[in-house]
Structure 1
Amino acid sequence: MLLEENQIAFHSDDGLIFGGVKEYSRQLAEMIGLGSDSEFPQAGIHTILDIGCGFGSFGAHLGTLKLMAVCVAAYEATGSQVQLALERGLPAMIGNFITRQLPYPPLSYDMVHCAQCGIIWDEKDGLFLIEVDRVLKPGGYFVLTSPSSRTQGSSSQVKMERRNMLIPMEELTQKICWTLLAQHDETFIWQKTADAKCYESGKQGSIPLCEQGDDAHSYYKPLVPCISGTSSKRWIPIQNRSSKSGLSSAELEIHGVQSEDFYEDLQFWRSAVKNYWSLLTPLIFSDHPKRPGEEDPLPPFNMIRNVMDMTANYGGFNDALLEEKKSVWVMNVVPAQASNTLPLILDRGFAGVIHDWCEPFPTYPRTYDMLHANGLLSHLASDRCNMIDLFLEMDRILRPEGWVILSDNLGAIDMARTHATQIRWEARVIDLQNGSEQRLLVCQKPFLKK
């Protein structure tokens, strides 16, 4: 990370990854048995959970390979990894599973990656590894780059330290049916079994299976010392999953979704995204403040880098943005009170999370360029949430000059416009002219609040 004039430049040589991130990624691919990291999808790797992501260089590189890498790191008062990743335009959120489960369902990611992430994996009788096993899909990979490479001393001392670290890890990984696939210097790769019966064979020792239904809706539950997901219909090895974009009818059926409903939702969002951009483009041109000494604003090709869909449903809004070739990534949020469609969203290769909108979202202030919600206000109207608190939280998340698009019924939109005015957003109500009660509220957070 270097300061070049008035910008911070991130080079491929991440301080946590020796030899540069491209070489590191190529090494991981070879350890898995691939020719290059461009072949990750051939091994079933599409989504990666990067724990303690440093400068985010590994995730940024994976993004160039069209893979979805999400950074998760604990809250830091200064020097935040999550905030740095978000400012780079990379998917990231605050998360810490030292005491609680991450807000993901079982069988969520194809790979979990930890490069000197500061977690002692063999503590608490392997409870942290069991949580990794919970979110890892069958046949998925756990990559651990240990800190032994920073050890001063002879090569024999380094080897001894690695061996001492590996012994307890070997015992724990055998209990959870992982196989040590490869080791190269300080990097280890384990592969989770694709055979659910392995957990019933007695190899797992004292680690029991979770009771059926315990993992149906994971939202910051306490860590549990049991194996999850073995009875799920989603127990499909990553190597057997569809490699093409989109899900087949059979895969949709696993999620309890009818193909007709799914594609009707996608058609709706294709039309809505075209409508949104036709509305936003003239607003950006006309309302973008011209600050002293600045030239006229450029066309808004890169003014929106990330979007939070606060009511993601099937992830159709995300899909429609990709089809329109918008260079944004979307954090798909499934409200904790809604039907849990997060497994479907994650299986589509999108970033997503479960969240209760009566509580603060786990991110830093001013980290999103656009917030979008369809029907959230009327959904929460009968809940315990205070609407003005929700709008204050949205204002905290939104960057200056960021946009908010809310779609809801007329009563909810009128209420929302009142709250938007109270927090000094510029707000416009738009009638869709389709004879329905549905309205759009398009808001912009000003650069300076008067």
Structure 2
Amino acid sequence: MNIQIAQGVDLKIIQTSQFKNNTIVFNFSIPSNYKNFAKLALLADLLENASLKFPSEMLVSRKLSEMFGASYGVTVLRYGNQHTLRIRLTFPNNHYLPHKEDLLNDAMAFLREMIERPFAKNDQFDAHYFKIHQTNLMSYLDSISDNKEFYSTLQLQKLYYANDLNQGTYLLGNIDSIRELNASDLYNFYRAFIQQATVTVIVAGQIDQAQVVSRLKSFSTLSDRNDLGLKLFIEPELPKVPREKTTVFPGSQSLLNIGYRLPIYFGDDSYFAANVFNQIFGASTRSLLFTNVREKASLAYDIHSSYNSFSGMLSVQAGIEFKNLSQVIQTTDEQLTATADMAYPESLLVGVKKSMINQHRSQSDYLSTLAERQYVRQISGVAFGDSQWEQLVNDVTKKDVAEVAKRVQYQARYILQSQGDNDENN
């Protein structure tokens, strides 16, 4: 059921008795702009942990406990060219409570409090509260380099999108951009953001529709707003010559990250073939990369590929010994060629498709998956029923996969070389 609460504010209701919980998800979306990354990252922390009525994490937790262990969270996400602040509350279905308590009114009142009455006074966030979360976020950003796999992924992203700061910049910003924020300016940003962002509310479970609509219309922030002209898919201006960079760090294992352009997007005619290709190439434990680079040749501690259908990007990450770098690159190229030449057993194609379908079915057992799929339908305008999804996967042929592989274009390579390997080579 699709309902418009106000101009630019849409409500999607999924009625289902499959789960013991209900969930309410607010998605506030604006065009991706790196200048807003730090602001929204810190704002998410501030909206998650306190409000005027609940001015501490303990009081928020206590209220959630009163709602029979409801869970609440705020996060920031990137869907292609869209930057989304997501606020989610999941609470028990009244049919499973001892006295059939209806928590919907309580849930809506709690969300309104957390969204519309942040812990702020005199047009600024509480100074002490702001400082704590600002410091915590800077500490987290400072610790990212300790997670070598994630750090190298971010460096590849930066290299790949060298001409686009809105995509090449980490979604949570950087330490300097967080440090520059103050409690007053961020509060002014919050007020503008909450009134201007495009809003999609997803409600799933056994829900009284009229009650949901009535409560949402009581939110003062859910008023008419202008169309932001949100675009989803990224069509980057990529460098004409592939970019490559190597960084040396103290450690015992090097990391190879390769970025490719794969201009196939969610809902395209070749979308399902692209997903099957990714599984065959490197995303699954039966893939060509895993089997031939890791298992047979023993050239990598781990190797896998990832495909983003909103950005049209394919990436490969491998944990390696630096002395094997050229051999790993060559063998990876050979697996891409093998995919394009259909030089792999039919059983791999069959097994990959079966695994994809089983995973899709198992994910359907989660309420969060239903809400997420509904949101993707909303922002993309593309919808697949479960049976249709499975049929489209099963329809993919070796030739379809080969045509996808032929469209892969090498764009960037980032190497995180361990100091141990460097010393050994020297």
TM-score normalized by the length of structure 2? 0.27
Higher helix share: 2
Q: Which structure would you say has the larger RCO, counting Cα contacts within 8 Å and 6 or more residues apart? A: 2
